[in-house]
Structure 1
Amino acid sequence: RHEEGRFRIIAPTIRTLRQLTRFRSVDEVLDHASRQTTVFVSCQRAGWLRGKVERFSEDELPYGELELVTPDGSIEHTLDWQSERVVPLLRNVHRLTAPNPGRMTGPGTNTYLVGTPGDWTVIDPGPDDHAHIERLAAFVGDGLKAIVCTHAHPDHAPGAAPLQQRTGVRILGRPSGPDFNPAWTFRPDETLEDGARLTVGDSTLRVLHTPGHAEHHICLLLEEDGLLFSGDHILSGSTTVVDPPDGDMRAYVRSLERLAAEPFDYILPAHGHVIARAKTEIARLIAHRMAREAKVVDALERSGGGTLDELVVLAYDDVDPILHPVAKRSLTAHLLKLRDEHRATLDDRSARWQPA
């Protein structure tokens, strides 16, 4: 009756009832409660979604964005994904999502506009989509100072050239390496070295070289506000694909560990909502990768070895089979990491991996 609008229930009760719908019996509820490591004690946060006020708990994706944008709890922020309007997140941070939603891009690529009128930097201009570029150019006017690409995958960097043609500003980033897809070769006008600082209005962006998803990948730390623009190194609601040979699982985990030591509280990913409790999320991602690695090792040991097609079924049995072709890329990255650590071997003739 509540879902039909015929019976009013207060928000904490709604949250509890919705959580209970995940369980089939009282025994399942009690078992979950006995193993629960985190108990949420904060109030839900509310925003507008599909024309209605919706409330979200700490374990739901929009919560972090609402915490950042409306810290006083006011109900002002709209959460619907759209590509027509620039969304203000902070005084000096705005977002325009490209119209390229999909299985690999989620709601689309987030282009961030950092700075103040007359002094803007664009981070990840996205695909070469005319309407998206026109909206970016209209927003910054003649005040764009730089275009920064976190990496050169086709949903992030192709928009840089047409935006440069419109504005005349320089493209910044790191050049792609020899193992990167040659069709996406990237040569910025200026190479950003690790630790370099970019002044944007009254803010400072510090460059962090974070190889793993791509060898030339960078994140950008907005120092005064404690925000990390994570590109594809950290995503909201999904895990990053690590695709060898340019992608490297050992480097990816090392980069996560490096980020865990940096001073920021929020993550602004290239796909999805803002993420709060940044260090908790990074710890979760590292634990997830190590848990997946353990499943890969178990698959090798239980099967006695196998091809990628055979191992992906065992090591990614919790993933929709439709995603197994993509999962095989990260599986390869895990196996190469294990080989480098002398924990797995590859027979090149049969393409079979075996435990070392």
Structure 2
Amino acid sequence: MSSAQDEGIAKLSPAKDEPAKSRTGPYARNRAVYSAIDLGTNNCRLLIARPTYAGFRVVDAFSRIVRLGEGLGATGRLSDEAMDRAIAALKICAQKIRHKQVTCMRSVATEACRTAKNCDIFVARVKAETGLNLDVISPAEEARLAVVGCQSLLDPAYGHALVFDIGGGSTELILVERRPKNRLHILAWTSMPYGVVNLSERFDCQSLDRARYAEMVGLIRAHLDRFEALASLRTLQKNGAMQLLGTSGTITTLASVQMGLPRYDRNKVDGAWLEQASIHDLARNIALMPYEARLAEPCIGEDRVDYVVAGCAILDALLAQWSFKRLRVADRGIREGVLRGLMGAGAVIGPGRTI
């Protein structure tokens, strides 16, 4: 797992909106505009930002559910309809990038494109129809970017952290160690081939009974057992020396429900600490509640009503495997990691062991 910079961790916080100051001196640095696109199995997300003294200031953002990986598990290919949806969203991203006069950009794609037999055709279409160069990144790079994007939420009081990212087509687990000079080092990581899209297509999440839900959780637990054998997380966890940090639509949705929010509010969710026991119970309750009850939850909605069940099963397995008192929620991830890398900050050293 490579890193663009091997330097101390910069204190960047995309949630801050501060007056721009030059981090390197030249006035031209102030005028730079950066963009990051994260095209996942389910979502297409864009951030456009300018660097500031303490981090970066977001000047535009875009997110749309495109379901790029819909049907991929059955056919091994991206469907024409899925590619059309993704390209329509990417055209909006390209228009915003031109309008904001972006000077430096990176657009990454993850599990759906990694596994699709016709990925090359899709990438060529994206270039021809939007002008964007799509970089299909490895699982190792995806794990690194997730950590870089969330690193400002890693509490320095802990010597280690377990970061998890429940995606559409895969789930990344990354064990991070904090070393002298505040450097973060990835000790071990894994990318499970299960996310909310492919897992929900494998199981009928609209009418899931307890037996099928237990089967879903068991599928994840088998992979977590292998990661535990590799990383020996329980030793660190028992000593209270490890933080748990989650970044994904699943954990931010559950946090919103737990807080009783009438609608999603990033300012309240991002960085929040939750009691593990209560969020564990909530995950099981949401996964097993009737479809109509899930649909009625204001922070779930129609787009996530099935996918949240699969996400809850992954989270359930994870929280049953390792016991923490609290976990921290991050509404940030790969896009922020890409921006930090483009701006020359936020080094995370690796690659660490993997399975």
Give your verdict on TM over 0.5: no
Higher Cα Rg, which structure: 1
What is the TM-score of this pair, normalised by structure 2?
Answer: 0.30
Q: Structure 1 or 2: larger helix share?
A: 2
